[in-house]
Amino acid sequence: MSDSTSGHDTPQAGRLLIGLYPARYRAAHGEDIQATFAEAVEGRPRHAVLRECRDLATHALRLRLRIGPTDAPGRLLAGAAPVALALAAGCALSYLLPQLHELVHRIRYPYPNLGLGYAVLNAVLAVASTMPWLLALAFAVSGRWQAARATGAAAVLLGAGALALLAPASYVRGEIAWMTLVGLLALLAPAGLVDVAQRGRWEMAALALAVALPMIAVGRYGAQYLPMPMEGLLPIWLSTVTAPVLAVRLSGGRSDRLRELGVGLGVLPWLMPIVIAALYGAVPLPTVLRYTGACLAPLGGAAAVAGAVQLARRARTADPSDPV
């Protein structure tokens, strides 16, 4: 190792972070990584050094967890993350819009026994738990995925804090679990693989609206006709909304099937509440299995339709042309 690439010249933080790399990769590329890191941070201000440390740690952890852009899990995450973010934003919109009038009304005319402070606190918590998801979607739809996933992480923290203040503990566990899983999907997905081309951005916006607008309409006019509470039907509805996107992706001519299959994984965070309820003994296992099957049935149907389309396309291509 040359003097310029020695451990003496590499900042202590860099040497520690390089240790996060898998041993085989570190043995093959460790000197180059040290040299590049030392050159990148030399004479730079503290915030720039911290950014380089973050990038180095992120790259190392992606390789160690095998979620890089060339790894199968990374490609699945790249398909799931934008879908999960769009669904979360749709859920946030379906909650916030119907509440706005009541929140503003209660600020203007507080409950006599609770006062203005309680009304303002309710409004702040409702906005804090929903607006970051909408802002994250806005970043994603504008093609700024790095900003979108950072905002999604903030949405998890703000949403978890708001729920902890507003809701019973038994309800908080499941809600925090799905939010955390959505945030992790966004953070772990390889940014370079996430589809932020025009088609991908339109899909995210359409998914969010397809989730929110029917839920708002049903909640306002038809909640009494539902076979179960809205919270119970939510995962089934999210799966139903996602199914057409999955069918179109799988039946198309794109080459990365793992990323297309990842679209269906974007629904899985919303199964976490019932899974956690089962772990605490609140829901029996047969009920969990039936419910999970109902939630995944639309995605399975979409995959079957896409498979049939692919088979028909191959059969048509394989048929010889009729002689003239």
DSSP letters, 79-134, are HHHHHHHHHHHHHHHHHHHHHHHHHHHHHHS--TTTHHHHHHHHHHHHHHTTHHHH
Task: Give the range of the structural domain holding residue 47, as residue numbers without chain letter.
Answer: 3-65
CA-to-CA distance for 172 and 156, rounded, in angstroms?
Answer: 12
Beta-carbon contacts of residue 109 (< 8 Å; ≥ 6 apart): none
Report how many domains make up the chain: 2
162 and 32 fall within a common domain: no
Q: Please check whether residue 150 lies inside any domain of the structure.
A: yes
Q: Please check whether residue 324 lies inside any domain of the structure.
A: no
Average pLDDT over residues 242-268: 88
CA-to-CA distance for 171 and 276, rounded, in angstroms?
Answer: 10
Q: Please check whether residue 298 lies inside any domain of the structure.
A: yes
Angle, helices 145-166/72-108, rounded to nearest 10 degrees: 50
CA-to-CA distance for 203 and 81, rounded, in angstroms?
Answer: 13
79 and 119 fall within a common domain: yes
258 and 278 fall within a common domain: yes
Confidence of residue 65 (pLDDT cuts 50, 70, 90): confident
Average pLDDT over residues 157-171: 79
53 and 86 fall within a common domain: no
Average pLDDT over residues 285-307: 92
Confidence of residue 10 (pLDDT cuts 50, 70, 90): low
Q: Please check whether residue 323 lies inside any domain of the structure.
A: no
- pLDDT at res. 4: 39
Average pLDDT taken over every residue of the chain: 85
pLDDT above 70: percentage of residues in the chain = 92
CA 179 to each of CA 96, 129, 175, 267, 308: distance values in angstroms, whole numbers, following the listed order: 16, 10, 6, 12, 35
CA-to-CA distance for 23 and 317, rounded, in angstroms?
Answer: 48
Q: Please check whether residue 263 lies inside any domain of the structure.
A: yes
With helix as H, strand as E and coil as C, how does 154-217 read? Answer: HHHHHHHHHHHHHCCHHHHHHHHHHHHHHHHHHHHCCCCCCCCCHHHHHHHHHHHHHHHHHHHH
Query: CB of 208 within 8 A of CB of 90?
Result: yes
pLDDT tens string 77-127: 999 999 999 999 999 999 999 888 888 888 888 888 878 887 888 888 888
228 vs 195 pLDDT, higher one: 195
142 and 57 fall within a common domain: no
| Range with lowest mean pLDDT among 107-111, 138-142, 203-207 | 107-111
Average pLDDT over residues 267-290: 89
- pLDDT at res. 160: 86
- pLDDT at res. 103: 85
- Residue 320: strand, helix, or coil: coil
Phi and psi of 280, rounded to 5°? Answer: -90, 5
CA-to-CA distance for 178 and 267, rounded, in angstroms?
Answer: 10
- pLDDT at res. 24: 85
214 and 297 fall within a common domain: yes
78 and 18 fall within a common domain: no
Average pLDDT over residues 174-195: 90
Q: Please check whether residue 322 lies inside any domain of the structure.
A: no
153 and 233 fall within a common domain: yes
137 and 263 fall within a common domain: yes
- Burial of 133 from C-beta contacts in 10 A (0-12 / 13-18 / 19+): buried
